[in-house]
Amino acid sequence: MSSSKFHTRILLAPLAPLVLFALAACEEERPEIQERIRAIKSYTVVEPAGGNVRRFSGKLTAANSAALSFAVSGTVAAVNVKIGDAVTRDQVLARLDTEPFSLDVTAAQAQLDSDKAQFDNAKSDLERKRDLHSKGWVAKAALDQATVAFDASEGALSLARSRLGLARRDLENASLKAPFDGVVSARQVEPFVEVQKGQTVLQIDSKGVLEVDFSVPDTFVNRLSVGSPITIATTAVAGCGCSGRITEIGTSAGAANSVTVTAAVVDGPPSLLPGMAVEAGVTSSPNAEDRGFLIPLVAIAPGDENARGYVFRYDPASMTVRRTPIQGGEAVRGNLISVSEGLNTGDIIASAGVSFLRDGQRVKLLGGQ
């Protein structure tokens, strides 16, 4: 070995650990590759495949709604809730100034005590004169007079008890309580304002239980029946995918020969609120072979021996899509095709670019839906 090569190896040997350390540091500093979350165009499954579909404008209402008022007149001392507050049954929502009612209770109690004393005296006097009359020591007229006085005192005592009960009830009614669990939907009173008995001051809507009220022409109402399903859409909640069932059909026509129909919301997101404008889709007389839903043709991926086709159903909880087999495809309406199996009302599916998706892929909906 030449002396030059020997010296080179001696010089490079101490540098080897430094070179390895630098390479390791570069490897550690390599940035982590972030998963790209694809944005997809979505379609909510609500369109029935068969039957004559008619759509009607409607409004969401609470299944239970109460306009609350004080049972007595007075001055409002406090309002403990505002619009949108959740309340529980028997919670005190507002209160009148209780001083006048407390004074009435005190006065009624004093009158009761006085009448009770008079009743006790009249009772003792009657018993005494009965005893004396039996011995012949007092006249019959004196006994009759004592009896009349006793009956009068007994009536006055009963009246005093009733007045005390009413005064106590008025004092209790000075506090306005929630009749059930719900949400405050309207507030029409402020503190220090005089209110009259029966004047509406608050409105409470039941929480979570909603109905849809809509009107249909009287020529169409005979095609409906209680229990029939409807679809519900609203621009206020993107991708609502709500469904319901008819619970009540009016028996008389109103303005413009329309009949009011009520349906209970069976499936809907918590973001639905009373007062929202909705569109109710009603299917009349669907054919058995046409049952199912219509979805865009472009939402279907090619099938195989296991299914006629596949769609990618969105799972909001995991923000992923699942490759879901479907059956059907006989009926076509425009750019929509019927699906008889594999989907339910309210399902959200990818409606474009399905060839670029895979089972379990993380995605987000266009527009933040």
Predicted confidence (pLDDT) per residue in 49-78, tens digit: 655 678 899 998 888 888 999 999 999 999
Q: Does 104 fall in a domain?
A: yes
Cα distance between residue 361 and residue 86, in whole Å: 38
Determine the pLDDT at residue 10.
Answer: 47
- Whether the predicted pLDDT of 8 surpasses 50: no
- Whether the predicted pLDDT of 16 surpasses 60: no
- Whether the predicted pLDDT of 289 surpasses 60: no
Q: Does 2 fall in a domain?
A: no
Q: Does 316 fall in a domain?
A: yes
Domain-terminating residue out of 285, 316, 332: 285
Q: Does 77 fall in a domain?
A: yes
Q: What are phi and psi of 88, to 5 degrees?
A: -115, 160
Helix axes 140-173, 99-134, angle to 10 degrees: 160
pLDDT > 90 fraction of the chain, expressed in percent and rounded: 40
Instruction: Output the CA–CA distances (angstroms, integers) from residue 1 to 6, 9, 12, 179, 242, in the order listed.
Output: 7, 11, 16, 103, 87
Instruction: Output the CA–CA distances (angstroms, integers) from residue 322 to 51, 346, 360, 362, 368, in the order listed.
Output: 30, 15, 5, 10, 19
> Mean pLDDT over residues 280-286, rounded?
71
Q: The domain containing residue 125 runs over which residues?
A: 99-173
264, burial (CB in 10 Å: exposed 0-12, middle 13-18, buried 19+): middle
pTM for this entry:
0.53
- Whether the predicted pLDDT of 4 surpasses 70: no
Instruction: Output the CA–CA distances (angstroms, integers) from residue 80 to 65, 169, 172, in the order listed.
Output: 19, 21, 17
> Does residue 156 share a domain with residue 105?
yes
Higher-pLDDT residue of 166, 282: 166
Return the CATH number at 251. Answer: 2.40.30.170
> Does residue 123 share a domain with residue 165?
yes
- Whether the predicted pLDDT of 11 surpasses 50: no
Cα distance between residue 83 and residue 186, in whole Å: 6
Determine the pLDDT at residue 104.
Answer: 96
DSSP structural state of residue 351: -
**Predicted confidence band of residue 113 (pLDDT cuts 50, 70, 90):** very high
What is the tally of structural domains in the chain?
A: 4
Determine the pLDDT at residue 228.
Answer: 79
Cα distance between residue 210 and residue 305, in whole Å: 43
Determine the pLDDT at residue 203.
Answer: 93
Q: Which of 99, 98, 101, 96 is CA-nearest to residue 75?
A: 96
